[in-house]
Amino acid sequence: MSFLQPLMLAALPLISLPIIIHLINQRRYQTMQWAAMMFLLAANRMSRGYAKLRQWLILLFRTLVIAGLVFAISRPLASGWLGLAAGGRADTTIILLDRSPSMQQQGAGGVVSKLATGRQQLVQALMTLGSSRWVLIESTTNVPTELKSPDALLNLPSAEPTSTAADLPAMLQAARDYIEANQTGRTEVWICSDLRENDWNAKSGRWRPLRDDFLQFTQGVRFHLLAYSQAAPDNIAIRVTEVKRQTTSDGAELLVSLAMTRQTDTDDVVSVPIEFEIEGARSVLNVEMAGPTYELKDHRIGLEREDEIGWGRVSIPADANSADNAFYFAFSKPTSRQTIIVAEDPTAIRPLQLAAGISPDPSLEHGAEVLTSEQLATVEWEKIALVLWQDSLPEGGDAKLVQTFIDRGGQIVFFPPKAISRSRSPSGTSTPDAAASAGPGWRTGPTFAGMSWQGWAETDDELTVETWRGDQDLLANTLSGASLPVGQLKIRRHCELNGEATVLAALNGGDPLLTRITTDQGGIYFCTTTPAANDSSLATDGVVLYVAVQRALATGVETLGDTQQLVAGKAQELIDPWERLAGAEEALSTDYAYHSGVFSFDERILAVNRPAAEDLAKPLEDERVAELFQGLDFVRVDDRAGNIDSLIQEIWRLFLATMMVCMVVEAALCLPKLRPAEGASA
């Protein structure tokens, strides 16, 4: 039970009024000389069960009457939102709205999605509760937006469903920042979400500091979680894993690989008609799906030879969640895989040139050009997918060129130069020996992305790679699960790095071998040794080098082609001027980045889709959620999609009715018993 006017509850002690009056009345007795004592004594000896009970009942009902009145004017709410009472009206109400595709799931037998239900419930609840300020933080931008009134949620475009994943820690971070920046008073944070693991990132290290921050707020922050955690066992999600256009003898064909997943443990077979739509031409493929996953590899769809670029869509019939029934893709001729290698000594990086220049697929165009840093200005950057940089880190104009390349999505791997340039404050370069013995007065050489080379570290023994990230990035295990032979590498000499980076492989001794810098686009890697024979066995044990370079190249190519597959919400600045070819009609042009669809600009085609993690869509366990909010003022209520009962409703009428009933009962109990009118006379 919660109250809109909890201060009125302060009047609750009034319920003792009947008792006090009763006690006062008891004290105001009269004394009388009495003759017929024998009857009084006899009456006292008799069982006083009902009479006594009646007195207590009368007192009880009088108390209830006052309690009913007090409760009624406190405006009680019938809801699961226990503990809402403290403090009354909130100063600021922050609504965190999860707009991820999984929120599009519909309730059993209903056509209302979780998101729509949640919005409706929030509007009803918040309109009843009232607040001085309303702030919406939705899951695409995580930017607080002030609302005039909660019912704006019903029409607001930024409350509509999207294809982007939500990042709950980031949303809470935004809420935290908002509270801190605006010094809000008592704040209510309402979270409307379906508790998907990928949206909540419960394992993220951001939760703990967030919780500590919220605990430090003195104004009182209360969390309400409106959870829609029901899974839809029959829901099937479809996703295109790979699209290849290849030329055949009689034209061209498209090889589409796709995967379907569903949240079920049973092995029952369902027939799923998959509809392919290529440039408006539709075809249907019926497949039998058993178990939780289904994969279709290289489904061939014929194309005209002149269809060099285009887009398509695969879809399945409507099910519990409409947001994961379609997947967009774009295809084009394979892009040429161009690498440039910037080297001090073009002859010394032969292994790199080979690793980048030999393509795994001979049908693809590829090339690796060796340059010196002076020749950078002549490079056609828009065609380059990968840069291998074995020289001093770029400075000035070079650095700008490289940064632009990375921002566009290019990949770059830095190798250490032979000589580490170091400068003492005004003067120029120094020898490696001098660098090795450099004192604290020495300033390190050029810095790029916050990293700089420190100096070569010579070791007597050959070092090996002790740990490396096999789960992702350049050194990830192969598709079959086998790990790369990174452990076999022998590092004879490595260069020390200065700066913050994610270590992908570390030598024994703790120094990194391969690190990655976090960027918005593109990839920056630092390898602390070179493939030169006296530095390491990267060239002789060439598998690792080849795989890493080809992986970096493949990632770089993805951003380069005429078509691109994007994950919704990941490429805002690229999207803005684009034109929609297919996709959700309701999306605003400024929000294209958050909606699945196909967009074109110039000659390029961009397919935007929901993140892969959304398809797995496992809900977080209840204990885990409670753990995340441990120590905070947290209330959770589980709702279901399509629920039309309001979360909270005022029930003061009920209390008023109770009060009246109590009054009537009390009056009935107080009525004197009808006695036979027997006179005293004989």
Cβ proximity to other proteins: between 27 and 653 the closer is 27
* 40, 108, 657, 668: residue in contact with other proteins (rule CB under 8 A): 40
Minimum separation from the CB atom of position 68 to other proteins (A): 24
Tally Cβ neighbours within 10 Å of residue 443.
12
- Residue 630 gets which letter from DSSP? T
Smaller CB distance to other proteins: residue 51 or 108? 51
Instruction: Tell me how far, at minimum, the Cβ of 656 lies from other proteins, in Å.
Output: 29
Specify the 3-state DSSP secondary structure of 559. coil
The residues in 243-282 that bind other proteins, with binding defined as CB under 8 A, are none
CB 332 within 8 A of CB 309: yes
CB of 666 to other proteins, least distance (A): 13
Judge residue 470's burial from the number of C-beta atoms within 10 Å of its C-beta, 0-12 exposed, 13-18 middle, 19 or more buried: middle
Q: What is the CB neighbour count within 10 angstroms for residue 386?
A: 27
Q: How far apart are CA 540 and CA 536, in angstroms?
A: 8
CA angle 162, 168, 170 (to 5 degrees): 100
**The 251-262 sheet, strands edge to edge:** 236-248, 251-262, 293-303
Q: Please choose, out of 46-54, 79-87, 401-409, 525-533, the segment that lies near other proteins by the rule CB under 8 A.
A: 46-54
CB within 8 Å of 485: residues ≥ 6 apart:
541, 543, 544
Of 33 and 249, the one with the shorter C-beta distance to other proteins is 33
Closest approach of other proteins to the CB of residue 58, in Å:
9
Q: If phi over 0 gives left and psi between -120 and 50 gives alpha, with beta otherwise, what is residue 267?
A: alpha
Instruction: Out of 7, 19, 21, 48, point to the residue binding other proteins (CB under 8 A).
Output: 48
Q: Is 103 exposed, middle or buried (0-12, 13-18, 19+ CB in 10 A)?
A: buried
With respect to other proteins, which residue has the nearer C-beta, 46 or 479? 46
Least distance to other proteins, CB of residue 23, Å: 11
- Quick one: CA torsion of 30, 31, 33, 38, rounded to 10 degrees? 90
> Based on CB atoms, which residue is closest to other proteins, 28 or 653?
28
User: Rounded CA gap, 211 and 206, in Å?
Assistant: 9
Among 268, 460, 672, 674, the residue binding other proteins under the rule CB under 8 A is 672
The one-letter amino acid code at 242 reads E
Nearest Cα to Cα of residue 308 among 559, 602, 603: 603
30 binds other proteins (CB under 8 A): yes
Q: Does 667 bind other proteins (CB under 8 A)?
A: no
Q: Among 8, 62, 235, which residue's Cα sits nearest to residue 670? A: 62
Q: Is 671 in the site for other proteins (CB under 8 A)?
A: no
Specify the stretch interacting with other proteins by CB under 8 A; choose among 52-60, 240-248, 378-386, 620-628. 52-60
Q: Is 5 exposed, middle or buried (0-12, 13-18, 19+ CB in 10 A)?
A: middle
State in angstroms the smallest separation of the CB of 59 from other proteins: 12
> Which range of residues in 43-51, 365-373, 461-469, 586-594 is near other proteins by CB under 8 A?
43-51
363 is an interface residue for other proteins by CB under 8 A: no
Minimum separation from the CB atom of position 51 to other proteins (A):
5
Which stretches of 391-535 are DSSP H helices?
396-407, 432-436
Which residue from 148, 203, 653, 675 is in contact with other proteins, where contact means CB under 8 A? 675
Q: Is 427 in the site for other proteins (CB under 8 A)?
A: no
Report the C-alpha gap between 180 and 143 in whole angstroms: 14
Nearer to other proteins, 59 or 170 (CB): 59
Query: Is residue 36 part of the contact set for other proteins (CB under 8 A)?
Result: yes
Smallest distance from the beta carbon of 669 to other proteins, in angstroms?
A: 10
Q: Of 16, 55, 183, 483, which lies in the binding site for other proteins, with binding defined by CB under 8 A?
A: 55
Please, what is the minimum distance in Å from the beta carbon of residue 50 to other proteins? 8
Counting contacts by CB under 8 A, is residue 653 touching other proteins? no
- The DSSP symbol for 211 reads H
Of the candidate residues 46, 181, 479, 644, the single one contacting other proteins (CB under 8 A): 46
Q: Which of 158, 178, 173 lies closest to 98, judged by CA?
A: 158
Question: Which amino acid appears at position 529 of this protein?
Answer: T
Count of residues that bind other proteins according to CB under 8 A: 33
Residue 317 CB neighbour total at 10 angstroms: 10
Asked whether position 31 contacts other proteins by CB under 8 A, the answer is yes
Closest CA to 426 of 446, 439, 443: 443
User: Of the candidates 4, 13, 43, 120, which one interacts with other proteins according to CB under 8 A?
Assistant: 43
Q: Which of residues 229-248 bind other proteins (CB under 8 A)?
A: none
Distance CA 682, CA 673 (A): 23
Min dist CB 74 to other proteins, Å, is 33
Closest to 91 measured CA to CA, from 177, 171, 178: 178
682 lies in the binding site for other proteins (CB under 8 A):
yes
Binding mask 7-26 for other proteins (x = CB under 8 A): ------------------xx
CB 66 to other proteins: min, Å: 21
Stretch that binds other proteins, among 47-55, 134-142, 393-401, 586-594 (CB under 8 A): 47-55
Q: Where are the alpha helices (DSSP H) in 452-579?
A: 542-558, 572-575
Q: Compute the least distance from the CB of residue 664 to other proteins, in Å.
A: 19
Give the residue from 270, 335, 256 showing the smallest Cα distance to 302.
Answer: 256
- Given the complex with other proteins, which of 202 and 669 has the nearer CB atom? 669
Q: Which of 17, 51, 318, 664 touches other proteins (CB under 8 A)?
A: 51
674 binds other proteins (CB under 8 A): no
Q: Candidates 100-108, 413-421, 605-613, 673-681 — which segment interacts with other proteins by CB under 8 A?
A: 673-681
Residues 345, 220: Cα–Cα separation, whole Å: 64
Cα dist. 177→25, 125, 144, 174, 206 in Å? 61, 25, 9, 5, 14
Residue with Cβ nearer other proteins (51 or 318): 51
Binding of other proteins by 49 (CB under 8 A):
no
Residue 21 CB, shortest distance to other proteins, in Å, is: 13
Q: DSSP secondary-structure letter at 632?
A: S
Angle value at C-alpha 454, between 450 and 460, nearest 5 degrees? 140
Considering beta carbons, is residue 39 or 601 the nearer one to other proteins? 39
Least gap, CB of 69 to other proteins (angstroms):
25
Residue among 55 and 589 whose Cβ is closer to other proteins: 55
CB of 14 to other proteins, least distance (A): 24
Partners of residue 155 on adjacent β-strands? none
The residue (of 54 and 551) whose beta carbon lies closer to other proteins is: 54
Q: Is 362 exposed, middle or buried (0-12, 13-18, 19+ CB in 10 A)?
A: exposed
What's the min distance (Å) between Cβ of 667 and other proteins? 14
Binding residues for other proteins, rule: CB under 8 A, are: 25-26, 28-44, 46, 48, 51-52, 54-55, 672-673, 675, 678-682
